[in-house]
Amino acid sequence: MKIYRYPERNSWPELVKRPVFERKELSGLIAEIFEAVEKGGDTALIDFNKKFDKAVTPQITVSEAEFEKAEQEVSADLKKAIQQAKENISKFHAAQIPETEKIETLKGVVCWRENRAVEKVGIYIPGGTAPLFSTVLMLAVPAQLAGCREIILCTPPDANGNINPAILYTARLCGITRVFKTGGAQAIAAMTLGTESISKVYKIFGPGNQYVVAAKEYAQNYGVAIDMPAGPSEVLVIADQQAVPEFCAADLLSQAEHGSDSQVVFIADEFKIFTETIEAVEKQVKKLPRNEMASKALDHSLFILTDSIEKALEFSNLYAPEHLILALGDFEKYIPMIENAGSVFLGNYSCESAGDYASGTNHTLPTNTYARNYSGVSLDSFVKKITFQHLSKEGLKKIGKAIEIMAEAEGLIAHKNAVSIRLK
Amino acid sequence: MKIYRYPERNSWPELVKRPVFERKELSGLIAEIFEAVEKGGDTALIDFNKKFDKAVTPQITVSEAEFEKAEQEVSADLKKAIQQAKENISKFHAAQIPETEKIETLKGVVCWRENRAVEKVGIYIPGGTAPLFSTVLMLAVPAQLAGCREIILCTPPDANGNINPAILYTARLCGITRVFKTGGAQAIAAMTLGTESISKVYKIFGPGNQYVVAAKEYAQNYGVAIDMPAGPSEVLVIADQQAVPEFCAADLLSQAEHGSDSQVVFIADEFKIFTETIEAVEKQVKKLPRNEMASKALDHSLFILTDSIEKALEFSNLYAPEHLILALGDFEKYIPMIENAGSVFLGNYSCESAGDYASGTNHTLPTNTYARNYSGVSLDSFVKKITFQHLSKEGLKKIGKAIEIMAEAEGLIAHKNAVSIRLK
């Protein structure tokens, strides 16, 4: 832990800095993988499964039998939990579907926007230590609600060539039946370029390791869009004397257990809460199965004692955390001060894991200072907003003159003509 | 013109292809420019003005005196036209400010989104043959409405070291008083890295030549966001027998005059309209001051005769045009079929130049097939949507079990603990 008591403002820019990852080194490898997938298609993916995941996968497409087996393997309790989470996520994201409002900017000039789903989307779900079926919910639910016509999902197989049953169960629950056994940069390449089994998509979503992140960036060279740039996960907790140290500690640790590069920040305006939270963290971390990872994350965590909640929020805005927890008695007062954050958790009972799984908000959020300029994933991420306009002859008459004058002043005479010829 | 009569569907993927620009060659040059700006600051920008724009600019910051001079130089007519356009653009974009709707996903679990402006934004306005003060409106109006705290504008000086007065007038009309004389990749570098006069921004907007486009992509390596990837401007016009050939021709030419790389596509389902439009284009183009540019664009334009409007729309969806004009009698019927387009113009009096200048919709739109996966600029482009959630103790009790089960199944025990410790 790095402990700072009343750090001067001029030290803040140094404190909010995130670790720098050198991605350029990966670009050669990523280019090679894209080339191999472009040439070899499914065969290349099968080879990569052997090479990187030690998995024998004669078919990369998950079969109906595999879906059914998964359905049987997931416990009834887990199914019920996933269904409940899906319901809440659906409810929150469905409310994001806007009604079309036609605006008459002038009599006879009517403008509006309509949502259209991104037709083809690809979801990447990482393998590794945690089978992130919750991320399937967070991406598949809004994709379905938006009306995306093709939704495919790629995830790496385990050493036996299988996909975690909870991932398959959740995918099918959300209407996704095209799931492919491929992971890492090669999965991103496959969704970008297409193979015999996997169709090209227009937008790729989902988290992953540095190879996946680099491959998503690389995919953009092919005209594919991505959800957002990525970095390690983050939480910033602001606590006052009404906070509960054990709760704060548990939240900080639920971030720390994600990985050794997780970013954990705690700010309190009171010495007692500050020290008691540090003690609670030290006590709780010992009992975690992922103790080693969490401890490494804690090594570079920030614990800051400050003299006011206002100042804590000012620091938070500069930091722009992915998750911001306001463990404050009077949290409502501070909401308007929040400028940069991915998702905000209010009060003592809004733990981050509620939003990670089941409250309804999305857990795919901007990290690495991107909360300054990006939103988290929402229904908006799966649609384009197309503008429409209809001008009547009378409408064009009303603004025609203005258009002609402006077009001429910009030296664009054909633009002017398009009006003049209609008003002749 | 490239004329196709009833082209087979299997030829479409070839027809919708856009020209490929090799950007990698620029990356060395862009890196050098960024380095020069990082080291030299304002002095580097002054040097670049001399080198690239042949302009002597002792100060890069536009002075109050220059704003006032510009105010006097813009004609009363043009001022009035710009004001009218601003009013319509404001009206349309103000309607995009959402009301906060709190969603109770379960009793005691309340989730919502709030808009927060991107605090610092930079607008780039190109110099060159057309002084795009209309683009100042399209970017500054929503930035102001969104509540961006710092809005700066960079644009290259002319050979006398001056900025076009209409650009300065429009900037100040929209509340932008920090305008800097710098263009090209160096302007993007300055807004990314900051100099003595120019402050770093979080998001950069605006069109430009290949250097500007490459520099905006490069800027993303520094954590800056950009409005969208870019390519040459495009229009696709679909006409039936109720269209007016002269109007269609004028619209096609108002796209063609943008530059020799402009993309112009015309589709009709009737031979008479088809040939008459081609004739009208040939006749009108001769009279244009930018005849040479427009003719070059026409050389690679597509004129397609098809057997139904449905098929024309299918082609259009594959093409994903920046601007789509439905010169159709029965346009309302076809709106639901539109999947991919930046902005749509309906009927015989909705010319593209209306949207380019004054109807109220934004003219910063996705090109180069990006209408498949990106929206045009809107108020949304200047805000982040932050999610908030508040769980009461009762709310957490209701979903606590589901969270615990899911967290455990993902192997994230600290996530589970954050709930358990609160419900103990």
Q: Which residue of A has its CA nearest to B286?
A: A414
Rounded to an integer, what distance in angstroms lies between the CA atom of residue B24 and that of residue A27?
13
Rounded to an integer, what distance in angstroms lies between the CA atom of residue B172 and that of residue B166?
10
**What's the structural domain count of chain A?**
3
Q: Which of B190, B208, B226 is the last residue of a domain?
A: B226
Q: Which residue of B has its CA nearest to A228?
A: B225
**Distance (Å) from the C-alpha of residue A215 to the closest C-alpha of chain B?**
15
What's the mean pLDDT in A109-138?
Answer: 94
Residues of A in contact with B98 (CB under 8 A): 98
Same domain, B125 and B181: yes
CA dist A151 to A154, A162, A216, A415, Å? 10, 21, 17, 41
Contact check, Cβ <8 Å, B410/A92: no
Same domain, A367 and A235: yes
- Report DSSP letters for A155-223, one per residue: E---TTS---HHHHHHHHHTT---EEE--HHHHHHHHHH--SSSPP-SEEE----HHHHHHHHHHGGGT
Rounded to an integer, what distance in angstroms lies between the CA atom of residue A141 and that of residue A174?
6
pLDDT at B20 over 80: no
- Please report, to the nearest 10 degrees, the dihedral formed by the alpha carbons of residues A73, A77, A80, A85 taken in order: -100
Residues of A in contact with B109 (CB under 8 A): 88, 354, 359-360
Residues of B in contact with A401 (CB under 8 A): 81
> Longest Cα pair distance anywhere in chain B, in angstroms?
82
Q: What is the ipTM score, two decimals?
A: 0.96
Q: Which residue of B has its CA nearest to A244?
A: B422
Give SS3 for B5: strand
Rounded to an integer, what distance in angstroms lies between the CA atom of residue B371 and that of residue B365?
8
Task: Tell which A residues from 358 to 397 touch B, by Cβ distance under 8 Å.
Answer: 358-362, 366, 368-376, 378, 380, 383-393, 395-396
Same domain, B349 and B399: no
Rounded to an integer, what distance in angstroms lies between the CA atom of residue B324 and that of residue B340?
9
- Using the Cβ of B225 and the Cβ atoms of chain A, whether some distance falls under 8 Å is answered with yes
Quick one: angle between helices B393-409 and A76-94, nearest 10?
120
Q: With respect to residue B17, please indicate whether it lies within any of the assigned structural domains.
A: no
Q: With respect to residue B19, please indicate whether it lies within any of the assigned structural domains.
A: no
Q: Tell me, what CATH number does A261's domain have?
A: 3.40.50.1980
Radius of gyration of chain A (CA): 25
Query: A210 a known binding residue?
Result: no
Sign of the CA dihedral A51, A55, A59, A63?
negative
Rounded to an integer, what distance in angstroms lies between the CA atom of residue A90 and that of residue A68?
24
Element (H, E) at B88: helix B76-94
Mind listing the pLDDT tens digit for each residue in A387-401? Answer: 999 999 999 999 999
Q: Which residue of A has its CA nearest to B405?
A: A78
Going by C-alpha positions, the residue among A355, A238, A294 that lies closest to residue B413 is: A294
pLDDT, position B230:
87
Q: Which of A202, A226, A250 is the last residue of a domain?
A: A226
Same domain, B162 and B180: yes
Q: Which of A274-288, B11-25, B78-92, B307-321 has the lowest mean pLDDT?
A: B11-25
Rounded to an integer, what distance in angstroms lies between the CA atom of residue A107 and that of residue A141?
40
CA dist B313 to B8, B264, B303, B328, Å? 15, 16, 14, 12
pLDDT, position B23:
61
Q: With respect to residue A8, please indicate whether it lies within any of the assigned structural domains.
A: no
Taking phi over 0 as left and psi of -120 to 50 as alpha, with beta for the rest, B320 belongs to: left
Residues of A in contact with B85 (CB under 8 A): 399, 402, 406
What's the mean pLDDT in A357-383?
Answer: 97
Same domain, A39 and A62: yes
Residues of A in contact with B95 (CB under 8 A): 101, 103
Rounded to an integer, what distance in angstroms lies between the CA atom of residue B81 and that of residue B87?
10
What's the mean pLDDT in B332-360?
Answer: 97
Contact check, Cβ <8 Å, A402/B84: yes
- Using the Cβ of A223 and the Cβ atoms of chain B, whether some distance falls under 8 Å is answered with yes
Same domain, B218 and B238: no
Banded model confidence at residue B331, pLDDT cuts 50, 70, 90: very high
- Using the Cβ of A263 and the Cβ atoms of chain B, whether some distance falls under 8 Å is answered with no
Q: With respect to residue A385, please indicate whether it lies within any of the assigned structural domains.
A: no
* C-beta separation of B204 from B216 below 8 A: yes
CA dist A222 to A188, B14, B398, Å? 12, 16, 45
Banded model confidence at residue A23, pLDDT cuts 50, 70, 90: low
Q: With respect to residue A5, please indicate whether it lies within any of the assigned structural domains.
A: no
Q: Which of A205, A226, A247 is the last residue of a domain?
A: A226
Task: Tell which A residues from 65 to 84 touch B, by Cβ distance under 8 Å.
Answer: 77-78, 80-82, 84
**Distance (Å) from the C-alpha of residue B303 to the closest C-alpha of chain A?**
19
What's the mean pLDDT in A21-25?
Answer: 67
* C-beta separation of B395 from B109 below 8 A: yes
pLDDT at A349 over 90: yes
The encoded tokens of residue B242 equal 């109720």
- Using the Cβ of A260 and the Cβ atoms of chain B, whether some distance falls under 8 Å is answered with no
**Distance (Å) from the C-alpha of residue B280 to the closest C-alpha of chain A?**
12
Same domain, B186 and B291: no
Same domain, B277 and B185: no
Mind listing the pLDDT tens digit for each residue in B34-43? Answer: 999 999 999 9
Give the mean pLDDT of chain B: 96
Rounded to an integer, what distance in angstroms lies between the CA atom of residue B212 and that of residue B408?
49
Banded model confidence at residue B240, pLDDT cuts 50, 70, 90: very high
What's the mean pLDDT in B306-315?
Answer: 98
Contact check, Cβ <8 Å, B130/A410: yes
Considering only CB atoms, B357 lies closest to which of A203, A378, A402, namely: A402
pLDDT at A198 over 80: yes
Model pTM above 0.90: yes
Same domain, A284 and A362: yes
Give the mean pLDDT of chain A: 96
Residue B201 φ/ψ, nearest 5 degrees? -120, 170
- Catalytic pick from B93, B323, B363, B404? B323
Q: With respect to residue A19, please indicate whether it lies within any of the assigned structural domains.
A: no
Give SS3 for A384: strand
pLDDT, position B407:
97
Mind listing the pLDDT tens digit for each residue in B91-119? Answer: 999 999 988 899 999 999 999 999 999 99
Banded model confidence at residue B157, pLDDT cuts 50, 70, 90: very high
Q: Tokens 């620009």 label which residue?
A: B21
pLDDT, position B24:
66
Look at chain A and count its residues: 424
Helical H segments across B222-288, by residue range: 245-256, 271-285
Contact check, Cβ <8 Å, A353/B418: yes
Q: With respect to residue A384, please indicate whether it lies within any of the assigned structural domains.
A: no
Tell me which residue range forms the domain holding B292. Answer: 231-371
CA dist B305 to A20, A353, B322, Å? 54, 57, 21
Contact check, Cβ <8 Å, B111/A130: no
Is A390 a residue of the active site?
no
Query: B124 a known binding residue?
Result: yes
**Distance (Å) from the C-alpha of residue A52 to the closest C-alpha of chain B?**
22
pLDDT, position A20:
76
CA dist B45 to A116, A192, B192, Å? 42, 39, 13
Banded model confidence at residue A22, pLDDT cuts 50, 70, 90: low
Banded model confidence at residue A19, pLDDT cuts 50, 70, 90: confident
Residue A135 φ/ψ, nearest 5 degrees? -70, -30
- Using the Cβ of A355 and the Cβ atoms of chain B, whether some distance falls under 8 Å is answered with yes
pLDDT, position A230:
87
pLDDT, position B22:
64
* C-beta separation of A125 from A136 below 8 A: yes
Contact check, Cβ <8 Å, B338/A386: yes
Element (H, E) at A264: strand A263-268
The encoded tokens of residue A163 equal 């996909």
The encoded tokens of residue A16 equal 């909010």
Contact check, Cβ <8 Å, A378/B385: yes
Q: With respect to residue A376, please indicate whether it lies within any of the assigned structural domains.
A: no
pLDDT, position A231:
86
Same domain, A191 and A240: no
Contact check, Cβ <8 Å, B131/A410: yes
What's the mean pLDDT in B145-174?
Answer: 97
Same domain, A99 and A170: yes
Is B93 a residue of the active site?
no
% of chain A surpassing 70 pLDDT: 99
The encoded tokens of residue B62 equal 């536009």
Sequence-separated (6 or more) residues with CB below 8 Å from residue B346: A388, A389, A390, B326, B331, B332, B335
Going by C-alpha positions, the residue among A361, A341, A355, A324 that lies closest to residue A248 is: A324
pLDDT at A27 over 90: no
The encoded tokens of residue B283 equal 């006749």
Question: A–B: how many Cβ contacts below 8 A?
Answer: 400
Same domain, A143 and A202: yes
